């Protein structure tokens, strides 16, 4: 129920339950999310729900189901969609609006849900499966860790001008479940599988054949408070090294290419390093998250070789380091590090910028390295709202360092973690429960210990060819090359080249014959938009920023995609609520991420309040102490 502070009667808030259908074919997943909003009250309701999606999700379809009728959503520029929704809301029409606040955070607004009835909003998106060697994974997020807004962080522009949906989330009490979620997953890998597993949820599984499995997560068996992660392992000789899919769409030809470069033996390559471990001990890391992070850090320290040098940085509202600079990995220094880590506690806010500045240290990272690698391992849940500011800091101060991110907890900010690792020329891993720490950290070091594939380029014959991403990132061991291509006419083949340890690797990949399938144009558009937004974030000239914004809008409208500048809106043309009848607006609460115990501060303002309150209590205590001593002194004089 919802209580109003101005004395109005209690109103029962709308209830939400979701049904998620995931269909995986090869390296692509198509996901359908049906959000049903039921109104148990006697008043007309408007529901607002902020929810997470994968950071690479391409949302391209919206439907509103009213009884047997289906209203199709339209893609519009963001301001136009908001105007369309507000006009329908005021006119008493059923309406739904889906907006993007971050690449991994969206909101649904549903207007004019009748008393005692329900309305279903269905959205669809596409995402790519993650591959590491012969192991694949996909995740569906179900909870949001509330974001911390640092002191003096600048206000970001465009769709994130108003961060209220992110920093002031309506959060349920621990143990509540405000979004009963059922998940059906159909996996058609295209090759024989050794195993299929759900990492953090108990599911029922059905094997259709060697390459086809189906899973179901019962909505009564969980509280929708942790990422749903499914992993599958291909049989060694059955997994293809190359996937090529093509599609013709709106006068262009599109291709999605996934190639696994040849691997090298790890024992053939080992290089001394300077490594800086950074651990987040802010309030949002309290409980299970900090236990996971501390165990991961202790495990990583034990992997150090004598020729390595290291340091540890802790941050919350402030930043501290174990040493003034990287020190040799001697037994004495490692013993100091163990004690330092074991004493860590969660408290305060998430002032991440200071820790990044100290760990990356800009030009100093390029000096006196003697051919050593410089690596920064960042352990955090990423619960911040100033992502753009931190990305800019990484770009400015990275130097010759490489930044690796370790996502901690049941619902980390995967958008920040993946993007930070990409900009830091590193890679990302997620630790969701404490018993997988050793395995995940070992796998991470196996990837980063092997030589990196650099200077990757594609050669294609033809005109009007666009490759996204335009700048292909370095590849670590077990990582595939994934690119999307648009052309007037696709060439017959592509030549791939890259460098590893000074040696050139080259492979010819035929594009014909290739598997025809839908959604390839969406994959290209999603990657192209991300590249344009990366370029735009680095621009300071407003004219250039506007030109890039127009490019994003054009691509999004042509491919029906929700972005920072475009939204999906659906409106039933028939009014159902009379203007004289009131419309109550409600925010649907998000479930608290599993295992989270928040510390004092989740916003900078909150931390300031606690700080000044503490100072006030201290001064008050000193005053009473002085007053007590003065009374005793006067008593003695009287005697």
Q: Tell me what pLDDT residue 202 has.
A: 96
First to last CA, the chain: 65
Residue 55 shares a structural domain with residue 168: yes
Query: With contact defined as beta carbons under 8 Å apart, do 373 and 402 qualify?
Result: yes
pLDDT band (50, 70, 90) for residue 630:
low
pLDDT at 9 over 60: no
Q: Tell me what pLDDT residue 605 has.
A: 38
Residue 218 shares a structural domain with residue 303: no
User: Domain for residue 4, yes or no?
Assistant: no
Measured in whole angstroms, the distance separating CA 304 from the mean position of its chain's CA atoms is: 29
Which residues have C-beta within 8 Å of that of residue 626, sequence separation ≥ 6?
Answer: none
Torsion of Cα atoms, 468 then 474 then 479 then 482, to 10° = 10
Q: Tell me what pLDDT residue 477 has.
A: 85
Scan for tokens 């806010």, then name that residue: 349
Q: b/e per residue, 103-123, with b = 16+ CB within 10 A?
A: bbbbbbbbbbbeeeebbbbbb
User: Domain for residue 171, yes or no?
Assistant: yes
Spatial separation of the C-alpha atoms in residues 412 and 416, rounded to whole Å: 9
Residue 426 shares a structural domain with residue 487: no
User: Domain for residue 593, yes or no?
Assistant: no
Domain that holds residue 175: 15-237+562-587
Domain boundary among 449, 484, 513: 449
Q: Tell me what pLDDT residue 171 has.
A: 64
User: Domain for residue 211, yes or no?
Assistant: yes
Spatial separation of the C-alpha atoms in residues 111 and 84, rounded to whole Å: 12
pLDDT band (50, 70, 90) for residue 461:
confident
What value does the mean pLDDT of the chain take? 86
CATH number for the domain including 293?
3.40.50.410
Q: 615: part of which helix (H) or strand (E)?
A: helix 604-638
Spatial separation of the C-alpha atoms in residues 102 and 97, rounded to whole Å: 16
User: pLDDT exceeding 70 applies to what percent of the chain?
Assistant: 84
Query: With contact defined as beta carbons under 8 Å apart, do 193 and 231 qualify?
Result: no
Q: At CA 534, angle to CA 530 and CA 540, rounded to 5?
A: 145
User: Domain for residue 373, yes or no?
Assistant: yes
Domain boundary among 384, 417, 449: 449
Scan for tokens 């002191």, then name that residue: 151
pLDDT at 141 over 70: yes
CATH number for the domain including 251?
2.60.40
Q: Tell me what pLDDT residue 146 has.
A: 82
pLDDT in tens, 280-319: 999 989 888 999 999 999 999 998 988 999 999 999 999 9
Q: Is 100 left (phi over 0), alpha (psi -120 to 50) or beta?
A: beta
> How much of the chain is in helix, strand and coil states, percent to nearest 5?
30, 35, 35
Residue 200 shares a structural domain with residue 220: yes
User: What tokens does 358 get?
Assistant: 């100290």
The two most distant CA atoms of the chain are separated, in Å, by 107
Q: Give whole-number Cα distances, 384 to 36, 148, 149, 387, 630, in Å.
A: 29, 5, 6, 7, 49
DSSP SS3 for 33: strand
Report which of 375, 526, 634, 514 is spatially closest to residue 57, judged by C-alpha positions: 526
User: What tokens does 278 get?
Assistant: 């950074």
User: Domain for residue 353, yes or no?
Assistant: yes
Query: With contact defined as beta carbons under 8 Å apart, do 392 and 372 qualify?
Result: no
Q: Tell me what pLDDT residue 609 has.
A: 40
pLDDT at 8 over 90: no
DSSP SS3 for 630: helix
Residue 108 shares a structural domain with residue 124: yes
Residue 246 shares a structural domain with residue 278: no
Measured in whole angstroms, the distance separating CA 37 from the mean position of its chain's CA atoms is: 25
Residue 427 shares a structural domain with residue 519: no
Residue 507 shares a structural domain with residue 388: no
Residue 443 shares a structural domain with residue 372: yes
User: Domain for residue 192, yes or no?
Assistant: yes
Q: What are the strands of the beta sheet with 135-140, ordered from one edge?
A: 130-132, 135-140, 228-234, 193-198
pLDDT in tens, 395-425: 999 988 999 999 999 999 999 999 999 999 9
Spatial separation of the C-alpha atoms in residues 1 and 18, rounded to whole Å: 20
What's this model's pTM, rounded to 2 decimal places?
0.87
Residue 135 shares a structural domain with residue 219: yes
User: Domain for residue 621, yes or no?
Assistant: no
Query: With contact defined as beta carbons under 8 Å apart, do 126 and 60 qualify?
Result: yes
Domain boundary among 400, 422, 449: 449
pLDDT band (50, 70, 90) for residue 450:
confident
Residue 206 shares a structural domain with residue 290: no
pLDDT in tens, 262-277: 766 655 566 788 999 9
What are the start-end ranges of the H helices in 303-365? 331-342, 352-360
pLDDT in tens, 535-583: 998 888 999 999 999 999 999 999 999 999 999 999 999 999 998 789 9
Cβ-in-10-Å burial (0-12, 13-18, 19+) of 251 comes to: exposed
Q: Tell me what pLDDT residue 1 has.
A: 34
User: What tokens does 319 get?
Assistant: 């930043």
Residue 27 shares a structural domain with residue 157: yes
- The total number of structural domains in the chain stands at 3
Q: Tell me what pLDDT residue 31 has.
A: 98
Spatial separation of the C-alpha atoms in residues 336 and 322, rounded to whole Å: 8
pLDDT at 427 over 80: yes
DSSP SS3 for 461: coil
pLDDT band (50, 70, 90) for residue 12:
low
pLDDT band (50, 70, 90) for residue 632:
low
User: What tokens does 593 get?
Assistant: 């991420």
pLDDT in tens, 591-610: 888 877 654 344 443 444 43
Query: With contact defined as beta carbons under 8 Å apart, do 97 and 74 qualify?
Result: no
pLDDT in tens, 325-367: 999 999 999 999 999 999 999 999 999 999 999 999 765 555 5
């Amino acid at each position: 129920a919802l209580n109003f502070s101005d004395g109005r009667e209690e109103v029962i808030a709308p209830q939400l339950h979701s049904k998620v259908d995931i269909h995986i074919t090869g390296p692509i997943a198509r996901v359908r999310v049906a959000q049903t909003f039921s109104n148990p009250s006697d008043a007309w309701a408007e529901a607002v729900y902020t929810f997470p999606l994968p950071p690479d999700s391409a949302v391209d379809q919206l439907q509103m189901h009213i009884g047997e009728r289906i209203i199709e959503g339209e893609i519009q520029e963001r301001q136009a969609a908001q105007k369309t929704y507000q006009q329908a809301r005021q006119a008493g029409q059923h309406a739904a609006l889906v907006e993007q606040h971050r690449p991994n955070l969206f909101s649904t607004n549903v207007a004019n849900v009748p008393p005692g009835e329900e309305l279903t909003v269905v959205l669809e998106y596409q995402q790519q499966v993650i591959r590491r060697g012969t192991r694949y994974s996909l995740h569906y997020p179900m909870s949001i860790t509330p974001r911390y807004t640092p002191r003096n962080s600048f206000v970001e522009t465009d769709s994130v001008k108003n961060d209220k949906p992110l920093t002031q989330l309506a959060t349920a009490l621990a143990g509540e479940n405000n979004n009963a979620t059922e998940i059906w997953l159909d996996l058609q890998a295209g090759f024989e599988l050794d195993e299929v597993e759900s990492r953090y949820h108990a599911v029922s599984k059905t094997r259709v054949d060697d390459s086809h499995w189906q899973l179901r997560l019962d909505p009564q068996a969980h509280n929708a408070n942790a990422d749903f992660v499914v992993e599958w392992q291909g049989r060694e000789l059955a997994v293809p090294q190359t996937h090529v899919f093509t599609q013709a769409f709106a006068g262009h030809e599109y291709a999605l290419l996934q190639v696994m470069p040849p691997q090298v033996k790890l024992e053939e390559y080992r290089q001394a390093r300077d490594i800086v471990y950074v651990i987040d001990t802010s309030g949002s890391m309290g409980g299970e998250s900090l236990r996971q992070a501390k165990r991961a850090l202790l495990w990583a320290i034990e992997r150090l070789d004598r020729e390595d040098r290291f340091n540890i940085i802790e941050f919350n509202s402030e930043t501290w380091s174990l040493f003034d600079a990287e020190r040799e990995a001697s037994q004495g220094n490692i013993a100091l590090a163990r004690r330092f880590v074991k004493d860590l506690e969660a408290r305060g806010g998430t002032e991440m910028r200071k820790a990044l500045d100290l760990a990356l240290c800009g030009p100093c990272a390029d000096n006196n390295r003697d051919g050593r690698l410089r690596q920064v391992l960042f352990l955090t849940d990423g619960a911040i709202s100033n992502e753009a500011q931190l990305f800019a800091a990484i770009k400015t101060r990275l130097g010759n360092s490489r930044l690796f991110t370790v996502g901690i907890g049941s619902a980390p900010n995967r958008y920040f973690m993946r993007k930070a690792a990409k900009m830091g020329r590193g890679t990302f891993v997620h630790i969701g429960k404490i018993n997988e720490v050793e395995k995940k950290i070992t796998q991470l070091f196996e990837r980063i210990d092997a030589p990196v594939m650099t200077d990757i380029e594609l050669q294609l014959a033809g005109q009007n060819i666009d490759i996204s991403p335009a700048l292909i990132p370095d590849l670590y061991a077990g990582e595939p090359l994934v690119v999307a291509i648009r052309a007037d006419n696709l060439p017959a083949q592509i030549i791939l080249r890259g460098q590893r340890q000074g040696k050139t690797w080259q492979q010819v990949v035929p594009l014909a014959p290739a598997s025809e399938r839908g959604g390839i144009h969406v994959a290209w558009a999603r990657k192209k938009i991300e590249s344009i937004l990366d370029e735009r974030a680095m621009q300071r000239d407003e004219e250039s920023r506007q030109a890039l914004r127009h490019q994003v809008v054009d691509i999004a409208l042509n491919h029906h995609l929700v972005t920072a500048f475009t939204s999906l809106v659906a409106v039933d043309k028939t009014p159902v609520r009379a203007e004289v009848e009131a419309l109550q607006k409600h925010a649907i609460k998000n479930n608290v991420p599993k295992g989270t115990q928040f510390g004092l501060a989740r916003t900078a303002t909150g931390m300031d309040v606690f700080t000044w309150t503490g100072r006030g209590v201290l001064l008050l205590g000193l005053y009473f102490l002085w007053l007590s001593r003065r009374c005793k002194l006067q008593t003695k004089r009287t005697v």
